[in-house]
Amino acid sequence: MQVLDTAARINQQIAENPVILYMKGTPEAPECGFSRQVVETLKQIGQPYAFVNVLAAPHIREKLPQISQWPTFPQLFVKGELVGGCDIVLGLHSEGSLKELLESANAA
């Protein structure tokens, strides 16, 4: 029952981490330009976050889009909710609301 196990694992990761990024590669070595841009944005903000490298977790890469209803990576979750991918994260940063969102998630 790999599918159920994977879904449960994802739900646990999202529930346990106030800020979690599903990405390709790692924050130190992103393996996709979209993931790289989100990592660089999060680095500018300086708030802690968890991450999952979906290239190293193929079951999560396959299952998460069905759970989140979001087809691509990166995917940023804050307080259990999908914020979005690269375009949305960069948009929130340029309008100035991402910092406060992450600060309040980590403070809660």
Ligand X SMILES: N[C@@H](CCC(=O)N[C@@H](CS)C(=O)NCC(=O)O)C(=O)O
Q: How far is CA 74 from CA 1, 107, 108, in A?
A: 26, 23, 24
Choices 6-14, 40-48, 67-75, 100-108 (CB under 6 A): range interacting with ligand X: 67-75
HSE of 13 in the Cβ direction (CA atoms, 13 Å)? Answer: 21
Please measure the distance between the N-terminal and C-terminal CA atoms of the chain and give it in whole angstroms: 34
Q: Which residues 6+ apart lie within 8 Å of 83 measured at CB?
A: 76, 77, 89, 92, 101
The single residue listed with the structure tokens 């889009």 is: 65
| Identified binder of ligand X from the candidate list 5, 16, 87, 100, rule CB under 6 A | 87
Q: Which residue of 73, 93, 101, 105 would you call a contact of ligand X, by CB under 6 A?
A: 73
CB 60 to ligand X: min, Å: 10
- Residue, CB closest to ligand X: 85
- Selected binder of ligand X within 18, 25, 30, 85 (CB under 6 A): 85
Binding to ligand X by residue 34, rule CB under 6 A?
A: yes
State the residues that interact with ligand X by CB under 6 A: 24, 32, 34, 61, 72-74, 85-87
